[in-house]
């Protein structure tokens, strides 16, 4: 059987082929029964509503590169996929659909609404997982999880009930982020801080005793209706005499105290602040410290309630205008200033968030965060890469406050609390007693024991924050709370790969939950990656509309090209990367360069296989250095270039392993690129070509074939984690392996230190420098590629002369040299640049590489007069262009009136022309 690759690489067909093969054959199915050293990664679960964006592509590629490497090193590897149910996102989609039909979720009722949600999940909820497949991720699809599947729902129930029974979950009335659009509490992560052009309104609050007034300023005038104090700093001399007095709140005519609190910044505004405990987080804390009343003036839909008096029923922004108008009419408005400030918006509802006093469910954070802090401080667990994120993580754990876990939605894990509504006239109120249980039957049993046989129960309509279930993700996905084989073998997981923006929101929740429920940190290492920035170095966002569609680039250049680009651009762990992109053409030069790299590899592999005479690497056997004297050589002797490429290969194996172990993925990708394109394709293939001819000496030909095949197979293994599809295709063709095996499960190359010869590599650097110099001299004098020349190499170093002598055949082959002289001096050689002879014949051209002089006699090879005339003509033309362009750029009217892009093109053209002119003048000096 002869191994052949098609002339052109087709990424679309190849990638689809291997993605199907891996999934159909369950190539990446993990088996704890096989034992060995476990390596486990859980995918950061994307929202089930999502579609693949560049951030996903970057993160999943980094994980896949790492996982494929670990699998090839022999570790028992599990990469577990799954998605998050995304309560708010799914509910928003469904409510928009209902709104288009003129309905609300209440028209359907909870049961029908949830049926509709599960139908949506079945039809549209797999979009992102199918798109992830197009990245070629090596996950175990048989273990795919969903945060609301049966197993994970059981884990959520178990966690909630345990925490409640331990006194770590409670229900209380506290200030939360409230989204009036979705009418639900939202987490800090679901809040988008937006800078807006607003106003700062200044009002007078008259002292009740008539002795004057205090001036306060606010960005939310409507909240003054709920003020219960005015605060000043206790060290502020201006107001110390007023502490303990009262002011009369305008409009409402409520008497409220002047209090002293160190929170107040004396330098901001007037140094006086209004205190609205029910509508501001800082005021909430002041209200608790000073035992102030908490007056809520707002309904859950963002309108004002009965506590707002005449403004009741008005939308908050309508009320804002009306309150200001009333204060102005009553003479309390001092001034209005333009004011740029940050306003929190609901990421889903797209409206400003309202701090709202609401009865919610909370988790007590301190006991959980203390366990995570102890693991970090005493065991350095988990380890953060880069290390600088350790402090960020620690600071978050120290500053955490109790976690609001309830959401006023229907899609999600319904809170397992049942209220004895028969105790409060059939309604769920803030004081209705309740029981917590894993099922309704268990809840009824508890309630009957507590309230009697006639108790009437109603389940809490709220659902849990999605971060509650995703906080259990590393162990719930492995079967917890059951003692499964997966949990026993693969937990704790090994590495978490995630973005820096969710260290607090997800990473900290996982470590706290895992520490509490399993007694272990959920992962050994947290690798924090940066962002993919757009072509202008800006963060991609929906609001800016500057995202780049990875699926579009995959369609244009192939998955492997995009994957390789994303990893190759990483300079240092955790750094942001910038992706080149032309929005007019939807093209990317950087991804195109990686596509060209796949073509280079493909063509090199074709050339290798065409010269193996149908033999596989296994049939040819492995090459190795020449045997010691007297030994019977079991294989043909290796030439210098064979030993050199093997040394370079094992250097790259060593460096790649080191880069992977230190999470230097970008460095590993770049190192492979330089080795494959430069050392293997540009040099070794050229060095070995003459030994592959039909009439070549058999032993030297076989040594070349062995080395060729061995190094190519090694390259495919090294490159596989980055470019899995093309390497799998070439490997199967090269090895002629059937479908029972695949490259993804082969062993990663081991380092053979005895084959690394740094001195030989340095010698070849001198060789390559010499060949480049001869080639450049030929180009400078327009010597045609087919013409062979005489070359004289001069060096006073005996070592250098020996190296050049040993490599003479390579110099002659690759630089087209017929007669090669290697000498200690040029005394016996023709003078460097004698006067031109008749007809322009005679003279030499010289160059230098290190301490080696390179001389090419030009007699009989080049017509120097004709060459000089040609160069002078070309120089004259370029100088004319320089003169013309310079005149345009010194014309002030052109510079001021022309399109800036046209002016820049002219400047760039002038710089390039001046550079070419300088090169031509230097070349003319040689004659």
What pLDDT does 834 receive?
42
Answer with the residue of higher pLDDT: 843 or 879: 879
What pLDDT does 827 receive?
65
pLDDT bracket for residue 3 (50, 70, 90): low
pLDDT tens-digit map of 57-100: 999 999 999 999 999 999 999 999 999 999 888 988 998 999 99
d(CA 347, CA 192): 6
Query: How far is Cα of residue 879 from the mean position of the Cα atoms in its chain?
Result: 49
Answer with the residue of higher pLDDT: 706 or 341: 706
Least confident of 455-464, 747-756, 838-847: 838-847
Residue 378 has pLDDT above 50, yes or no: yes
Close Cβ partners of 738 (under 8 Å, ≥ 6 residues apart) = none
What pLDDT does 635 receive?
58
Percent over 90 (pLDDT), the chain: 71
Please state the three-class secondary structure of 190-249 as a single string: HEEEEEEEEEEEEEEEEECCCCCEEEEEECCHHHHHHCCEEEECCCCCCCHHHCCCEEEE
Q: C-alpha distances in angstroms, 73 versus 37, 493, 622?
A: 10, 17, 20
What pLDDT does 831 receive?
44
What pLDDT does 842 receive?
52
What pLDDT does 872 receive?
85
What pLDDT does 502 receive?
78
pLDDT bracket for residue 1 (50, 70, 90): very low
Residue 835 has pLDDT above 50, yes or no: no
pLDDT bracket for residue 542 (50, 70, 90): confident
ω into 508 cis (within 30 of 0) = no
What pLDDT does 630 receive?
47
Close Cβ partners of 210 (under 8 Å, ≥ 6 residues apart) = none
533-554 burial, b at 16+ Cβ within 10 Å, e below that, comes to bbbeeeebeeeeebebebbebb
Please state the three-class secondary structure of 331-343 as a single string: CCEEEEEEEEEEE
Let me know: does 199 contact 336? Beta carbons within 8 Å: yes
| Residue among 873, 810, 815 at smallest CA distance from 847 | 815
pLDDT, average across residues 368-397: 95
Please state the three-class secondary structure of 421-467 as a single string: HHHCCCCCCCCCCEEECCCHHHHHHHHHHHHCCCCCEEECCCEECHH
| Residue among 139, 132, 134 at smallest CA distance from 15 | 134
Residue 829 has pLDDT above 60, yes or no: no
d(CA 15, CA 21): 10
DSSP 895-927: HHHS-HHHHHHHHHHHHHHHHHHHHHHHHHTT-
Answer with the residue of higher pLDDT: 574 or 492: 492
On average, the pLDDT of the chain sits at 91
d(CA 547, CA 11): 24
Q: C-alpha distances in angstroms, 492 versus 41, 519, 638?
A: 10, 10, 48
What pLDDT does 825 receive?
85
pLDDT, average across residues 649-676: 97
Instruction: Find the length of the chain.
Output: 927
pLDDT bracket for residue 839 (50, 70, 90): very low
Close Cβ partners of 893 (under 8 Å, ≥ 6 residues apart) = none
pLDDT bracket for residue 647 (50, 70, 90): very high
Name the helix (H) or strand (E) containing 350: none
Q: What angle in degrees, to the nearest 10, is found between the helix axes of 864-889 and 900-924?
A: 150
Q: Which two tokens stand for residue 309?
A: 């008096």
Percent over 70 (pLDDT), the chain: 96
What pLDDT does 344 receive?
83
Q: Which segments within 619-774 are labelled E, that is strand?
A: none
Answer with the residue of higher pLDDT: 240 or 628: 240
Residue 503 has pLDDT above 80, yes or no: no
Residue 215 has pLDDT above 70, yes or no: yes
What pLDDT does 861 receive?
81
Least confident of 521-525, 610-614, 696-700, 767-771: 696-700
What pLDDT does 577 receive?
87
Query: Quick one: 478 exposed, middle or buried, by C-beta within 10 A (0-12, 13-18, 19+)?
Result: buried
Residue 112 has pLDDT above 50, yes or no: yes
| Residue among 653, 701, 643 at smallest CA distance from 676 | 653
pLDDT, average across residues 109-119: 94
d(CA 460, CA 464): 11
What pLDDT does 2 receive?
56
What pLDDT does 636 receive?
67
Q: Torsion angle of alpha carbons 478, 665, 657, 140, nearest 10°?
A: 30
What pLDDT does 19 receive?
97
pLDDT bracket for residue 374 (50, 70, 90): very high
Residue 593 has pLDDT above 60, yes or no: yes
Q: Which one-letter DSSP state was computed for residue 830? A: P
pLDDT, average across residues 793-807: 92
Residue 205 has pLDDT above 70, yes or no: yes
Using DSSP bridges, classify how beta strands 354-363 and 403-404 pair: parallel, antiparallel or unpaired: antiparallel
896-921 burial, b at 16+ Cβ within 10 Å, e below that, comes to eebeeeebeebeeebeebbebbeebe
What pLDDT does 629 receive?
45
pLDDT tens-digit map of 620-639: 998 975 444 444 445 567 89
pTM of model > 0.95 = no
What pLDDT does 189 receive?
66
């Amino acid at each position: 059987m002869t191994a052949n690759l098609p002339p052109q690489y087709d990424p679309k067909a190849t990638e689809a082929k291997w993605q199907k093969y891996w999934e159909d054959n369950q190539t990446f199915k993990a088996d704890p029964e096989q034992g060995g050293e476990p390596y486990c990664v859980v995918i950061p679960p994307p929202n089930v509503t999502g579609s693949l964006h560049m951030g996903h592509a970057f993160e999943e590629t980094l994980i896949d590169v790492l996982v494929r490497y670990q699998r090839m090193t022999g570790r028992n590897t599990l990469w577990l996929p799954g998605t998050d149910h995304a309560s708010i996102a799914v509910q928003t989609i469904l409510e928009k659909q209902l709104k288009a039909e003129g309905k609300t979720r209440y028209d359907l009722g909870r049961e029908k609404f949830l049926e509709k949600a599960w139908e949506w999940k079945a039809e549209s909820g797999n979009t992102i997982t199918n798109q992830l497949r197009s990245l070629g991720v090596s996950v175990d699809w048989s273990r795919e999880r969903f945060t609301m599947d049966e197993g994970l729902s059981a884990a959520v129930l178990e966690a909630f009930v345990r925490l409640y029974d331990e006194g770590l979950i409670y229900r209380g009335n506290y200030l939360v982020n409230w989204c009036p659009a979705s009418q639900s509490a939202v987490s800090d992560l679901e809040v988008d801080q937006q800078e807006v052009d607003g106003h700062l309104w200044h009002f007078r609050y008259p002292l009740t005793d008539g002795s004057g007034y205090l001036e306060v300023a606010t960005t939310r005038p409507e909240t003054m209706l709920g003020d219960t104090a005015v605060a000043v700093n206790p060290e502020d001399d201006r107001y110390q005499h007023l502490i303990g007095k009262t002011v009369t709140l305008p409009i409402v005519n409520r008497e409220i105290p002047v209090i002293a609190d160190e929170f107040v910044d004396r330098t901001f505004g007037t140094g006086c602040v209004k205190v609205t405990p029910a509508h501001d987080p800082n005021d909430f804390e002041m209200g608790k410290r000073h035992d102030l009343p908490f007056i809520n003036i707002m309904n859950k839909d963002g309108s004002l309630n009965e506590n707002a008096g005449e403004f009741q029923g008005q939308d908050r922004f309508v009320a804002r205008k009306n309150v200001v108008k009333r204060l102005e009419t009553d003479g309390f408005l001092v001034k209005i200033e333009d004011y740029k400030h940050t306003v929190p918006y609901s990421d889903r509802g797209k409206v400003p968030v309202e701090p709202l006093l609401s009865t919610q469910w909370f988790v007590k954070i301190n006991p959980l965060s203390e366990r995570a802090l102890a693991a970090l401080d005493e065991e350095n667990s988990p380890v953060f890469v880069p290390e600088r994120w350790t402090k960020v993580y620690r600071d978050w754990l120290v500053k955490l406050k109790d976690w609001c876990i309830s959401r006023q939605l229907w899609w999600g894990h319904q809170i397992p609390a049942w209220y004895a509504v028969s105790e409060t006239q059939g309604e769920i109120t803030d004081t209705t007693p309740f029981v917590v249980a894993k099922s309704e039957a268990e809840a009824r049993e508890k309630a009957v024991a507590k309230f009697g046989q006639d108790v009437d129960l109603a389940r809490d309509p709220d659902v849990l924050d999605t971060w509650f279930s995703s906080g259990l993700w590393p162990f719930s996905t492995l079967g917890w709370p059951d003692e499964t084989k997966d949990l026993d073998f693969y937990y704790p997981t090994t590495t978490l790969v995630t973005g820096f923006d969710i260290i607090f929101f997800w990473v900290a929740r996982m470590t706290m939950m895992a520490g509490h429920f399993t007694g272990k940190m959920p992962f050994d290492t947290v690798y924090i990656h940066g962002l993919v920035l757009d072509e202008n170095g800006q963060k991609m966002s929906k609001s800016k509309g500057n995202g780049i569609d990875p699926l579009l680039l995959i369609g244009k250049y192939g998955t492997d090209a995009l994957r390789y680009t994303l990893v190759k651009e990483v300079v240092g762990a955790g750094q942001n990367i910038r992706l080149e992109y032309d929005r007019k053409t939807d093209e990317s030069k950087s991804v195109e360069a990686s596509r060209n790299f796949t073509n280079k590899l493909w063509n090199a592999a074709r050339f290798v296989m065409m010269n193996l005479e149908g033999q596989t690497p296994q049939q040819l056997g492995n090459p190795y250095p020449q045997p010691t004297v007297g030994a019977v050589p079991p294989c043909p002797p290796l030439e210098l270039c064979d030993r050199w490429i093997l040394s370079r290969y094992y250097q790259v194996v060593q460096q790649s392993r080191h880069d992977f172990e230190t999470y230097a993925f970008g460095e590993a990708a770049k190192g492979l690129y330089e080795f494959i394109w430069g050392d293997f394709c540009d040099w070794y293939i050229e060095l070995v070509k003459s030994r592959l001819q039909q009439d070549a000496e058999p032993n030297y030909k076989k040594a070349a074939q062995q080395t060729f095949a061995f190094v190519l197979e090694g390259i495919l293994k090294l490159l596989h984690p980055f470019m899995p599809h093309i390497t799998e295709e070439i490997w199967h063709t090269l090895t002629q392996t059937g479908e029972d095996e695949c490259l993804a499960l082969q062993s990663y190359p081991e380092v053979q230190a005895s084959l690394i010869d740094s001195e030989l590599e340095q010698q070849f650097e001198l060789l390559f420098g010499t060949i480049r110099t001869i080639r450049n001299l030929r180009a400078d004098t327009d010597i045609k590629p087919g013409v062979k020349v005489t070359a004289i190499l001069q060096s006073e170093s005996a070592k250098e002369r020996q190296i050049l002598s040993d490599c003479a055949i390579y110099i002659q082959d690759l630089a087209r040299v017929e007669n090669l002289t290697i000498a200690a001096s040029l005394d016996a050689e023709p003078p460097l640049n004698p006067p031109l002879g008749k007809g322009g014949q005679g003279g030499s051209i010289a160059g230098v590489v290190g301490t080696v002089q390179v001389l090419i006699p030009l007699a009989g090879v080049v017509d120097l007069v004709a060459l000089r005339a040609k160069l002078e003509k070309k120089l004259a033309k370029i100088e004319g262009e320089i003169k013309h362009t310079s005149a345009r750029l010194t014309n002030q009217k052109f510079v001021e009136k022309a399109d800036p892009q046209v002016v820049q093109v002219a400047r760039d053209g002038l710089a390039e022309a001046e550079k070419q002119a300088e090169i031509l003048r230097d070349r003319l000096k040689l004659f």
